[in-house]
Structure 1
Amino acid sequence: MGSGGPVLFFDSGLGGLTVLREARYLLPYEPLLYVADDAAFPIGRWPEADLKARLLTLFDKLIATHEPKAVVIACNTAFTLAGDALRRAHPQVPFVGTVPAIKPAAERTASGLISVLATPGTVRRAYTRSLIESFASQCHVRLVGSDLLAEMAEYHLRGDPVADEALLAEISDCFLESEGRRTDIVVLACTHYPFLTNRFRKIAPWPVDWLDPAEAIARQLVRVLGADAASAPADTPDRAIFTSNPKDPALVRLLAGFGLVLERD
Structure 2
Amino acid sequence: MKTDACPRVLVFDSGVGGLSVAASVIRHLPGTELVYLADNAGFPYGDQPESVVVERCCRLISDSLAQFPCDVIIVACNTASTVVLPHLRAMTAIPVVGVVPAIKPAAAVTRNGRIGLLATPATVRRPYLDNLVDEFAGHCQVERIGHPDLVRWVEESVSGTDVPRKDLADAVAGFHRAGVDTVVLGCTHYPLLLEALRDVLPDVEFWVDSGDAIARRVAFLLDEQGKSGEASRDNRASEQPVRAALFSGPAPEGVAAFMAALGLSPMAVCANWPAQACPATTAASV
Corresponding residue of 2:255: 251
Total equivalences in the alignment: 258
Structure 2: gaps of 5 or more residues: 277-286
Q: Distance in 1 between matches of 2:144 and 2:204?
A: 19
Match of 1:189 among 186, 199, 215: 186
Question: How far did 1:247 drift?
Answer: 7.6
Question: How far did 1:232 drift?
Answer: 6.6
Corresponding residue of 2:216: 219
Identity of aligned residues (%): 34
Q: Deviations over 1:3-60 (max 9, x none)?
A: 4372101111111111111211222222210111111122222222322232223223
Write the mapping of 1:129-144 to structure 2, written as runs, cut at 5 A.
Answer: 129-144=130-145
Q: Deviations over 1:195-252 (max 9, x none)?
A: 111111111263342212212211221111113125573777521111114384x223
Give the aligned CA root-mean-square deviation in angstroms: 2.2
Corresponding residue of 2:49: 47
3-state SS in 2 of match to 1:32? strand
Corresponding residue of 2:269: 262
- TM-score, normalized by length of structure 1? 0.88
Question: How far did 1:152 drift?
Answer: 0.6
Q: Distance in 2 between matches of 1:232 and 1:153?
A: 31
Moved more, 57-66 or 11-20: 57-66
Write the mapping of 1:118-129 to structure 2, written as runs, cut at 5 A.
Answer: 118-129=119-130
Corresponding residue of 1:199: 196
Structure 1: gaps of 5 or more residues: none
After superposition, the Cα gap between the structure-2 partners of 1:149 and 1:89, relative to the gap in structure 1 and judged at 3 Å, is same
Write the mapping of 1:220-235 to structure 2, written as runs, cut at 5 A.
Answer: 220-226=217-223, 227-230=226-229, 231=231, 233=233
Moved more, 185-194 or 149-158: 149-158
Q: Distance in 1 between matches of 2:232 and 2:194?
A: 34
Match of 1:239 among 200, 221, 244: 244
Letter in 1 for 2:138: S
- TM-score, normalized by length of structure 2? 0.82
Match of 1:62 among 49, 61, 64: 64
Corresponding residue of 1:174: 175
Question: Is the CA contact 2:158–2:255 (under 8 Å) kept in the aligned structure 1?
Answer: no
